[in-house]
Structure 1
Amino acid sequence: MTQFPRHSVSVAAVVTDDGGRVLVIQRRDNGAWEIPGGILELDETPQAGVRREVLEETRVEIEPERLTGIYKTVTAGIVALVFRARLVAGTPAATDEAAAVDWWTADQVTAGMSEVFAVRTLDALRADPTPAVRSHDGRRFVDRHGQYT
């Protein structure tokens, strides 16, 4: 029997406030600022998984509204699904997984996140409802011809 490569699926949410700012977390494990999210459990739908991950990392309840992007880390076999979501209940607060939570503008996202996570966030803020589909090696994106940009 042929062994097929395994992939991991993660989910994340771009939650915005009334001013268009994005809910971000500072990860406890590496200090990086990112949108909340994590690994999808085998028995979860993507929507249930993103609700759980955001609640675990920020203490807020959200409702996913639409899929805004699909991102593959080609070096690690991770496929990330990113959703635009709205806040339903709660006040953002630090957790065991997030050292800090904050609301950032698009400019702060560009300046304060790694390119890979900033692009995911900015893709979700676009008015175009078509989900972005991108691949990267963890730092650089791959264009449609397989070249790193």
Structure 2
Amino acid sequence: MADNPKHSVSVAGIVVDERDRVLVIRRRDNGRWEMPGGVLELDETFEDGLRREVVEETGMNVQVDRLTGIYKNLSRGIVALVFRCSPGDGDIHATPEAREVRWMTAEEASELMDPAFGIRVLDALDGEMHVRAHDGINLLPA
């Protein structure tokens, strides 16, 4: 029997403040703007992994509110679960994974992020659940 390809599961948080701004990071490895998140570890729940990733990348603890989308990077085999979150305690700051951390409006985020990531911000703010596929940068037709 042939080996089946493996998928990676990641989690990401759209942290929304009282002014409807979202918390974003500029990644150290590629300089791109994204929402905080990363690969889920085997022994973690979705929510625990998300809280770990957000605090590691931004310095902020968050409350996980609800799942807003499932996204698959078809070129890399990554399935991402994206959750809307509320900010908690902690001061945001640059980290070993994020060279810059800041609040942006949804419009700023969707302009500065690659389309496959900017849509996640808009999806988290519209109150609906979304399922989308992309190639790592651009969305693919449904």
Q: TM-score range by the shorter chain?
A: over 0.9
Matched, 1:142 2:140: yes
- In the alignment, which residue of structure 1 is the partner of 2:41? 41
Secondary structure of the residue aligned to 2:82 is strand
1:33 & 1:139 partners in 2: Cα distance? 12
Corresponding residue for 2:75? Answer: 75
Question: How far off its partner does 1:143 sit?
Answer: 2.0
- Once the two structures are superposed, what CA deviation does each residue of 1:73-129 show, in whole Å capped at 9, x if it has no partner? 11111000000001121111111111111100011012111111100111001123x
Q: Which letter does structure 2 place at the counterpart of 1:140?
A: N
**Pairs within 5 Å for 1:48-127:** 48-127=48-127
For structure 2, the residue ranges without an aligned partner over 5 or more in a row are none
Contact 2:114 2:138 (C-alpha < 8 Å) held by counterparts: no
Which residue identity does 2:94 align to in structure 1?
A
Matched residues in 2 for 1:25 and 1:142: separation?
24
Which whole-Å CA distance do the structure 1 matches of 2:79 and 2:68 have between them? 14
After superposing on structure 2, the runs of 4+ consecutive aligned residues of structure 1 that deviate more than 6 Å are none
Q: Following TM superposition, by how much is the alpha carbon of 1:140 offset from its aligned partner in structure 2, in angstroms?
A: 2.3
Separation in 2, partners of 1:140, 1:111 = 13
Amino acid at match of 1:21: R
Q: Is the 8 A contact 2:110 2:121 kept in 1?
A: no
* CA RMSD, Structure 1 to Structure 2 (Å): 0.9
After TM superposition, give the deviation of residue 26 of structure 1 in Å. Answer: 0.7
Unaligned segments of structure 1, at least 5 residues: 145-149
Q: Contact between 2:68 and 2:127, CA under 8 Å: does it hold in 1?
A: no
- CA distance in structure 2 between the aligned counterparts of 1:31 and 1:82, rounded to whole angstroms: 21
AA paired with 1:109?
Answer: A
**1:147 aligns to what?**
none
Q: Residue type matched to 1:142 in 2?
A: L
Cα distance in 2 for partners of 1:141, 1:32 equals: 17
Q: Secondary structure at the match of 1:96?
A: coil
- DSSP-derived class of the 2:88 partner: strand
